[in-house]
Structure 1
Amino acid sequence: MQTWKLGALTGALMLVSSALANIEEDLSTVLKFGPRVAGSEANEKARAYFEAQFQALGYMTRRDVFTYPRFDDLGSDVRVGTRTLAGRALEGSTGGTVSARVVRVPGVGTPENFRAVNVRGQVAVVQRGQIPFLEKARNALAAGAAGLIVVNNEDKELQGRLGERTELPALAVSSSTGAGLRNDERVTLNVRVRDGEVRGVNVVAFKSGVTRPEILFGGHMDSVLRSPGANDNLSGTAAVVEIARRTATTPMAQRSYFVLFDGEEDGLRGSRAFVKENPLLVQGLKAMFNFDMVGVNVTPLNVSGESRLVDIARQAAQIAGSSPDRGGSDQAPFAQAGIPTLFFHRGLDTNYHQPTDTLADPALIRATVDAALKTADAALLAVPAGR
């Protein structure tokens, strides 16, 4: 499904004073909205802000709407006396509240581990590792546990998937939270979940009359639950919008599409939907450039992807490169469709998917844009359309 917003000149002029911004303003404005989980109010506020940016620059914008199923944690925890300890439901877990004793199971939750203790009717606590979460849950059920808590091996929130629906309230907690759960202590396990449909929305920007672009610049706008997503991936979003700013009055704008994908964190949902719904446009591309986590210099700027594009980036912009890439971001559906892709990234920082992902360096984002534009100019000369 597609909905349209036309960036008419009069509308653009009205937006200039409030909408034309720079990277610093992009970061400070959008971070105030909070975590941009697909389908959330913060996600919509960010989308509206960036639409205004594109329109003020004279671009037309289009909203591509798609839907997909998603498992949501609505705020799960474990209560010990007057203390409430945060956790996250394992995807596939059933919801429910269990008040019972803690039984610390030695090890990672193998059948042998469960045979060493009596968890019947109680809340079993096991360590992460060695076997899949689903096996831990199945073993807990077989042993008669009423609930399961999996303790991470790091002091970080754990996002885990069972892989299939399991009739057991199952919660994941950090290592420090797990260390505070004492054997035989009475707790209340609250697993609050929802299985439902999410409405995702991609923002597509282009100049009037451009229907067969040669290059697509993309990055995902959504973040994960509880994470403001400054580096992952407001930095990449800001890079795409900055490229649109710099090229707005140049020939590059007449050869480009700019796409802010939604639902990347839920499995590349937005980019998959775009490739599926726009086959002729996609097959006409010479290249797709994707930007993800370019605001923290964990490693120097790196590119990965189609070997010719990697070589061009090395020569034109002196970027370190490797190919092929791991395919973990929005370039993957384009590569699977046979389109040359280039993935710009700076590595995973320690705040990845954490509430502390609040900082991105505008200078690093600008340097990424500089390199991308040099590479794009060279690539449009060197790479034939499609494959």
Structure 2
Amino acid sequence: MKNIKLLLTFLSCLAFYANAAFPQLSSNNINTDRLLTNFKYLSSDELAGRKPQTSGHLLAQKYITQEYKTNKLLSFNVNYQHTFNYESSRQNKSGVNLLGYVAGIKYPNLYWVVTAHYDHLGDNGRSVFNGADDNASGVAAMLALSRYFSEHPPQYSIIFLATDAEEDGLKGAKAFITNPPVPIEAIVLNINLDMLSQDAKWKTLYVAGTRDNEAFKKIVNDTNHNLQTNSFKLKRGHDRVGGGRLSNKLKPIDWKKASDHSEFRKKNIAYLYFGVDTHKDYHTVNDTFENANISFYLQSVNAILVSLQQLEQLLPQQIQSNN
């Protein structure tokens, strides 16, 4: 009996260290019902494509704000709103970034910023550009992560930033970087979520920003190894100029400048950009919740969570890189 107890103790310790090295994907970590409810609503006709300064855009603001409150995020100022002004097409416009945060327990004065832009193209008077993949998918994922880390306090403090006017030239991200709520040197990492749900053909979610950081490479490789599925793949890539799937129809994409992470990169802040390749529904009226690959999307969000759980274990100097 004593030998059996020793064996059970050994196996228990072995399982503990295995799980520490390779955190398991678990639907228990993410409230998938809430995730999909948020994804569906943010891409619904009611929000009419979330074009800045429209009624649908205002509805999106109110919805995200309420989710921040429900998830008990802390706020830097009143009602999570950070307004800014910008110029586009020779017009003066205003935007609203939505910021909430969770305090870290080990490095409370060092910040990650999880970004996802909530604006899209609106409508053309006849049809709505719902922007499900681009980028209701990223915002819903960000909200799910904010809920998780509110319930499981992270090692680093994490700012959850729903950026505005990304489609108008990354204006929200620029406004945040120009006037951050914390010292710029305290921001050590940007995790950008932009288009997570539309890649049925290649079954691949790309991660950019790993090229010059060995610790990041290992995390992506370990997460992908842990997935143990043929229906989803997490892959390092999108770190250089190159066409997407529609490269014969679009000019080559400079992925380092393709989304909000670009503004963090300019300040030499390490980043990880999670997103799919371009696809046939990109910036069309067919980018709807009904056309999203829900199974792929759920796996994407869980893979991102597992990656962040591993990132938490890195020392600050392991995160810093020259992306």
With normalisation by structure 1, the TM-score equals 0.58
Matched, 1:332 2:262: yes
**Alignment-derived partner of residue 272 in structure 2:** 342
What's the CA shift for 1:217? 1.1
**Alignment-derived partner of residue 196 in structure 1:** 91
Matched, 1:215 2:112: yes
Residue by residue over 1:78-103, the C-alpha shift from the partner in whole angstroms, topping out at 9 and shown as x without a partner, is xxxxxxxxxxxxxxxxxxxxxxxxxx
Residue by residue over 1:192-212, the C-alpha shift from the partner in whole angstroms, topping out at 9 and shown as x without a partner, is xxx522211110011379973
Percent identical pairs in the alignment equals: 22
With normalisation by structure 2, the TM-score equals 0.69
Matching of residues 30-109 of structure 1 within 5 Å:
30=42, 31=44, 32-61=46-75, 62-71=80-89
What's the CA shift for 1:21? 6.8
Cα 1:374/1:304, change in 2 over 3 Å: same
What's the CA shift for 1:36? 0.8
What's the CA shift for 1:254? 6.2
**Alignment-derived partner of residue 236 in structure 2:** 321
Q: Which has the higher helix share?
A: 2
Matched, 1:302 2:199: no
Q: Which has the higher strand share?
A: 1
Q: Is the 8 A contact 1:218 1:261 kept in 2?
A: yes
Q: Is the 8 A contact 1:282 1:339 kept in 2?
A: no
Match of 1:242, SS? helix
What's the CA shift for 1:310? 4.2
What's the CA shift for 1:51? 0.9
Letter in 2 for 1:304: A
Of stretches 314-323 and 44-53 in structure 1, the one that deviates more from structure 2 is 314-323
What's the CA shift for 1:335? 0.9
Letter in 2 for 1:204: L
**Alignment-derived partner of residue 23 in structure 1:** 35
Matched, 1:311 2:217: yes
Q: Is the 8 A contact 1:213 1:281 kept in 2?
A: no
Matching of residues 101-180 of structure 1 within 5 Å:
none
Inter-partner Cα distance in structure 1 for 2:186 and 2:210: 16
Inter-partner Cα distance in structure 2 for 1:204 and 1:337: 20
**Alignment-derived partner of residue 9 in structure 2:** none
Cα 1:323/1:27, change in 2 over 3 Å: closer
What's the CA shift for 1:323? 5.9
Inter-partner Cα distance in structure 2 for 1:199 and 1:245: 29
Inter-partner Cα distance in structure 1 for 2:313 and 2:155: 15
Cα 1:283/1:372, change in 2 over 3 Å: farther
Q: Is the 8 A contact 2:156 2:312 kept in 1?
A: no
Of stretches 54-63 and 335-344 in structure 1, the one that deviates more from structure 2 is 54-63
Cα 1:264/1:295, change in 2 over 3 Å: same
Q: Is the 8 A contact 1:59 1:206 kept in 2?
A: yes
Q: Is the 8 A contact 2:116 2:135 kept in 1?
A: yes
Inter-partner Cα distance in structure 2 for 1:63 and 1:218: 15
Match of 2:47, SS? coil
Q: Is the 8 A contact 2:104 2:157 kept in 1?
A: no
Match of 1:60, SS? coil
Matched, 1:248 2:158: no
Match of 2:52, SS? coil
Matched, 1:278 2:180: yes
Q: Is the 8 A contact 1:217 1:288 kept in 2?
A: yes
Determine which structure has more spread, i.e. the larger CA radius of gyration. Answer: 1
Inter-partner Cα distance in structure 1 for 2:120 and 2:64: 15
- Root-mean-square deviation (CA, aligned residues, Å) is 2.5
Question: Which structure would you say has the larger RCO, counting Cα contacts within 8 Å and 6 or more residues apart?
Answer: 2
Inter-partner Cα distance in structure 2 for 1:281 and 1:51: 24
What's the CA shift for 1:383? 4.8
Residues matched between the structures, number: 245
